[in-house]
């Protein structure tokens, strides 16, 4: 950035800026995982033959999700 655009800032500021940009584009991961069960439900409802499964731990934290789309 310094050579190409003549901008002088620290590594820390660039790292935080990247984090803010990623959060703006992709949103909060916790909020996304909250919507996963609703998404899987709608897949099964509107795509016959679809199988989904969400696995969580004891604290109800997401471990993994399985999805097999129907033909």
Domain ranges within the chain, ordered by starting residue: 1-28, 35-71
pLDDT-above-90 percentage for the chain: 45
Indicate the pTM of the whole model: 0.61
Mean pLDDT of 21-32: 87
Confidence of residue 5 (pLDDT cuts 50, 70, 90): confident
DSSP H stretches of helix in the chain: 2-5, 11-26, 29-34, 36-46
Q: Are 56 and 62 in contact (CB under 8 A)?
A: yes
Q: Cα separation of 71 and 65, whole Å? A: 19
Confidence of residue 11 (pLDDT cuts 50, 70, 90): confident
């Amino acid at each position: 950035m310094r050579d190409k655009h003549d901008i002088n800032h620290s590594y820390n500021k660039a790292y935080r800026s990247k984090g803010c940009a990623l959060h703006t584009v992709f949103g909060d991961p916790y909020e996304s995982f909250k919507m996963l069960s609703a998404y899987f439900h709608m897949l099964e409802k509107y795509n016959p033959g679809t199988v989904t499964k969400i696995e969580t731990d004891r604290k109800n934290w997401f471990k993994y999700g399985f999805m097999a789309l129907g033909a």
